[in-house]
């Protein structure tokens, strides 16, 4: 028995050790092979299914007629959602057409499988097609709201770092570029917009115009206020660091007030969960045993009377 136990322990120790040794024996050669330049034959290009699907949706979007009046507003919404591609409008129209046809087919199949009447079939297919038509726009608006929240979340930290950079002696353009580099992993959306603003200034646009474009691309109210402060500071020649520090204090006060407002609303919002979720279970725990004992004792007494 002792010999078997010794052999078992030896196997349990030696097998994992040998496997680990063989696994990491040639790690140096593997690391050199990863960074070495590989010269070999170039494989023929095979388009991925996602690329094929994207091209198909873009082709459908180019066929679908679009109103010229709605294209600028749609392009602005797509830019606010983070889609800067030139073919984003065609892709959106194609996705809307494909979604409408897909929901229509699903509604038709569901109606045919349930053997619905003609009026119910038309109602269900029409409702499904309407849902398919509305779904892409709702998804786009959800993405816009989520991107706005991320930009609002990163704006106070970016503003504090901008104040530090300006007080250290950098100009506004260099400070915004430095902020975009430092916070690109934490707040990628905000840093992307700051980088685009710097590229517009380098391309020859005026700083006020680039700032207005920044506020228009994001649609964030706090960022619009910051842009107004920067434009006024640049126009009247006042201290940028002092203006940014004052606006930073203002944003902290506004954030504190919003937090206090949410805390004040919390008591009202908790009424419905407490009334519908906690109180019934509390009544079951407290009143339930008493009721069962009363029923168990009173019913035999009533029957014996």
Structure tokens at 165: 């950079």
Q: Is residue 297 part of a domain?
A: no
- Percent helix, strand and coil across the chain, each rounded to 5? 85, 0, 15
pLDDT, residue 32, reads 59
Q: Is residue 95 part of a domain?
A: yes
Residue 205 DSSP class = -
Residue 162 and residue 223 share a domain: yes
Residue 121 and residue 70 share a domain: yes
Residue 86 and residue 186 share a domain: no
pLDDT, residue 138, reads 92
Range of 190's domain?
148-265
Residue 258 and residue 161 share a domain: yes
The last residue of one of the domains, among 114, 144, 174, is: 144
pLDDT, residue 33, reads 62
Q: Is residue 41 part of a domain?
A: no
How many CB atoms within 10 Å of residue 196?
A: 17
The last residue of one of the domains, among 120, 144, 168, is: 144
Main-chain phi, psi angles of 226, to 5 degrees: -65, -40
Residue 82 and residue 63 share a domain: yes
Q: Is residue 288 part of a domain?
A: no
Question: What's the structural domain count of the chain?
Answer: 2
Residue 112 and residue 77 share a domain: yes
Q: Would you list the DSSP string of the chain?
A: -HHHHHHHHHHHHHHHHHHHHHHSTTHHHHHHHHHSPP--PPPPP---HHHHHHHHHHHHHHHS---TTHHHHHHHHHHHHT---TTHHHHHHHHHHHHHHHHHHHHHHHHHHTT--HHHHHHHHHHHHHHHHHHHHHHHHHHHHHHHHHHHHHHHHHHHHHHHHHHTT--HHHHHHHHHHHTTTT-HHHHHHHHHHHHHHHHT--HHHHHHHHHHHH--HHHHHHHHHHHHHHHHT--HHHHHHHHHHHHHHHHHHHHHHHHHHHHHHTHHHIIIIIHHHHHHHHHHHHHHHHHHHHHHHHHH-
Structure-token match 């194609």, residue found: 94
In degrees, rounded to 5, the angle at the alpha carbon of residue 241 between the alpha carbons of residues 231 and 195 is 60
Residue 233 and residue 152 share a domain: yes
Residue 184 and residue 123 share a domain: no
Residues 34, 100: Cα–Cα separation, whole Å: 47
The last residue of one of the domains, among 113, 144, 175, is: 144
Q: Is residue 136 part of a domain?
A: yes
Structure tokens at 185: 């992993």
Structure-token match 């959602």, residue found: 81
Residue 163 and residue 123 share a domain: no
Q: Is residue 304 part of a domain?
A: no
Q: Is residue 81 part of a domain?
A: yes
Which CATH number covers residue 207?
1.20.81
Q: Is residue 85 part of a domain?
A: yes
Residues 7, 2: Cα–Cα separation, whole Å: 9
Task: Answer yes or no: are the C-beta atoms of 162 and 176 closer than 8 Å.
Answer: yes
Residue 207 and residue 108 share a domain: no
Residue 139 and residue 212 share a domain: no
pLDDT 10s per residue in the chain (305 long)?
A: 555 666 676 677 777 777 777 666 665 666 556 555 455 544 454 556 666 767 777 777 777 777 778 888 888 888 888 888 888 888 888 888 888 888 888 888 888 887 777 778 888 888 888 998 899 899 999 999 999 989 888 888 888 888 888 888 888 888 888 888 888 888 888 899 999 999 988 888 888 899 888 888 888 888 888 888 888 888 887 788 888 888 888 888 888 888 899 888 888 888 888 888 888 888 888 887 877 887 777 777 777 76
Residue 171 and residue 83 share a domain: no
């Amino acid at each position: 028995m002792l010999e078997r136990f010794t052999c078992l322990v030896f196997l349990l120790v030696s097998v994992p050790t040998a496997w680990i040794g063989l696994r990491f024996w040639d790690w140096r050669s593997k690391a050199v092979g990863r960074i070495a330049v590989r010269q070999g034959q170039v494989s023929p290009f095979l388009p991925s299914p996602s690329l094929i699907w994207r091209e198909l949706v873009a082709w459908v979007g180019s066929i679908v007629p679009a109103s010229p009046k709605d294209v600028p507003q749609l392009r602005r919404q797509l830019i606010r959602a983070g889609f800067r591609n030139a073919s984003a409008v065609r892709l959106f129209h194609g996705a809307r057409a494909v979604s409408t046809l897909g929901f229509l087919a699903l509604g038709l199949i569901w109606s045919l499988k349930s053997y619905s009447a003609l009026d119910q079939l038309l109602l269900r297919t029409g409702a499904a097609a309407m849902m398919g038509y509305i779904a892409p726009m709702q998804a786009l608006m959800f993405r816009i709201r989520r991107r706005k929240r991320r930009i609002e979340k990163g704006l106070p930290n970016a503003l504090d770092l901008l104040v530090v950079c300006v007080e250290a002696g950098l100009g506004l353009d260099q400070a915004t570029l430095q902020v975009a580099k430092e916070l690109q992993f934490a707040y990628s959306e905000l840093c992307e917009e700051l980088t685009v603003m710097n590229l517009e200034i380098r391309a020859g646009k005026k700083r006020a115009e680039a700032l207005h474009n920044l506020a228009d691309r994001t649609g964030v109210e706090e960022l619009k206020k910051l842009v107004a402060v920067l434009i006024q500071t640049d126009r009247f020649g006042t201290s940028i660091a002092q203006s940014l520090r004052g606006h930073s204090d203002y944003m902290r006060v506004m954030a504190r007030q919003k937090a206090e407002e949410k805390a004040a609303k919390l008591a009202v919002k908790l009424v419905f969960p407490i009334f519908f979720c906690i109180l019934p279970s509390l009544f079951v725990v407290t009143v339930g045993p008493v009721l069962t004992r009363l029923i168990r004792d009173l019913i035999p007494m009533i029957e014996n009377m």
